[in-house]
Amino acid sequence: MIWMAIGCRYRECAVSVREKLSFSESEVRDALAQIRNRWPELEVVILSTCNRVEIYAALELRSGSAFPAEAEAGISALIQFWADFKGLSPSEVEAACFHRVGAEAVRHLFMVAASLDSMIVGEAQIAGQVQTAYQLAVECGSVGPLLHLAFQRAGNVARKVAAETAIHQYRTSVPSVAVSCFARQIFEHFESKHTLVIGAGKMAEETLLYLREEGARTITIVNRSLENARKMAEQFQGTVRPWEELDAAIIDADLIVSITGATEPIVTLERFRALEKQRGFRPLFILDLAVPRDFDGRLAQLQNVYLYTVDDLQSVCDANQAARDRDFPKAKTLVDLQLQSFLLDIRHRKSGPIITELREFSDQTKRLELERLFRKMPGLSEAERAEVEYSFDRLVNKLLHPTLAALYESGQNPENQRGLLNAVKKLFGLK
């Protein structure tokens, strides 16, 4: 079997590059459908968030597979697909991406789900994003037994790390740090400030939770879906304005949080300049958490405009990482232990059918011999028949024990396992 992970993330890749490679939900569905048509045997999950865009893939090797049987060739095939889908050159995608194969691909998934690879270590949001990506892939029919097992175990790993370490005990999500650290640099208090939220997704909701805690009371929500905006406004005692009144809402705002799924900036430099005079050139704090970005990056050059993107949180992330150094090694050890357990389970999964068939073969052979023996010895009592059956069971178990033990132990060495499985099948005439 082959395990693969490729992607771009905040560490190596600026937001301007990530937004070129990101997938909207509809694009994820389209991409998974295309992959399923091209390589029906390939299992795939696509994870696209503000800080990372990653493709996880797994393949059970079979004869006649259209997908490359070598991991490195498989990585190249996925990069080519990604480039074609986004209208980029393969070299552009390859330059922006890391890749992992084999156990390292699974380990990367576990680290991501446990929030140990996040910009802000310990942020709770990523575990939910991983599971959402997995559920979407399940819905699209692109997940098989390998990725089912991997993503279910990833969820268990995330819960185990949260329960057994202090990684998650502090505010570590992007919205919480953005509000408590960055917004506080501009405004001493929020009670008198007018907050505009553009978008009505989960991250917008989380950002509003922290803004309310900081004292924000005047909140306006603008979203393309008025129904979603109204639901959020009810929750946070805010007001709703239609998408067509976005300019008017920007004029009134002191603080803007924007997290939409737009594929290009919704507020350009030219559009904002047309509103400056009506705003009276008041200071404006803009927290653009969208990827691709919602606000033209050139707005940061304007006086009295404080524009921050997800990449601007890096310094705070570094500080949070240092604060969690004490528990970070323990969390990584938990991931490694879970990885070894998972890999053994996967390898035993290959020997499991052989062990089951071997036991069925031996049980059937034993039953036939017992029936023949009891026909020749009809006078045996129930107790005597039971003793004979017990002796046959002990004999068969003792004869099988070395073979079964070797099959279980072979899970730790895939090369030895393949040879042993073939030998057992041949010796016992198994399927």
pLDDT of 132-151, one tens digit each? 999 999 999 999 989 999 99
Contact present, 350 and 421 (Cβ < 8 Å) = yes
Among 10-19, 76-85, 403-412, the range with the most confident prediction by mean pLDDT is: 76-85
- Find the length of the chain: 431
**Domains of the chain with CATH codes:** 2-169 (3.30.460.30), 174-321 (3.40.50.720), 350-428 (no CATH)
Quote the pLDDT of residue 33.
96
Quote the pLDDT of residue 15.
85
pLDDT tens digits along 74-130: 999 999 999 999 999 999 999 999 999 999 999 999 999 999 998 777 677 888 999
pLDDT tens digits along 165-181: 877 765 656 777 777 77
* 3-state secondary structure (DSSP) of residue 239: strand
Least confident stretch, 74-83, 201-210, 314-323: 314-323
pLDDT of 71 above 90: no
For the chain, give the percent of residues with pLDDT over 70.
Answer: 92
Q: Nearest Cα to 18, choosing from 45, 57, 48?
A: 48
**Residue the block writes with tokens 């052979």:** 365
Reported as a pLDDT band with limits 50, 70 and 90, residue 337 is very high
Query: In degrees rounded to 5, what are phi and psi of residue 370?
Result: -65, -40
**Residue the block writes with tokens 């524009």:** 307
User: Quick one: average pLDDT of 292-307?
Assistant: 93
Q: CB-based contacts of 124: which residues, under 8 Å, 6+ apart?
A: 115, 162, 168, 172, 173
In DSSP terms, which residues pair with 3 in a beta bridge? Answer: 58
Least confident stretch, 250-259, 331-340, 385-394: 385-394
Longest dimension (CA), the chain: 109
Least confident stretch, 195-199, 249-253, 304-308, 400-404: 400-404
CA Rg value for the chain: 29
Please give the structure tokens belonging to residue 344.
Answer: 């053994």
pLDDT of 240 above 90: yes
Computed over every residue of the chain, the mean pLDDT equals 87
Reported as a pLDDT band with limits 50, 70 and 90, residue 35 is very high
81 HSE (CA, 13 A, CB side): 24
Q: Rounded to whole angstroms, how far apart are CA atoms 243 and 266? A: 11
Say which amino acid occupies 225.
Answer: S
pLDDT of 412 above 60: no
User: Quick one: average pLDDT of 307-315?
Assistant: 81
Q: Nearest Cα to 324, choosing from 175, 166, 162?
A: 166
Least confident stretch, 106-115, 184-193, 211-220, 286-295: 184-193
Quote the pLDDT of residue 213.
79
Give me the sheet containing 194-198, strands edge to edge. Answer: 239-241, 218-222, 194-198, 255-258, 284-288, 305-309
Q: Rounded to whole angstroms, how far apart are CA atoms 309 and 189? A: 21
User: Quick one: average pLDDT of 33-41?
Assistant: 94
User: Quick one: average pLDDT of 338-357?
Assistant: 78
Q: Rounded to whole angstroms, how far apart are CA atoms 134 and 141? A: 11
Known catalytic residues?
50
pTM to 2 decimal places: 0.62
Quote the pLDDT of residue 176.
73
pLDDT of 415 above 70: no
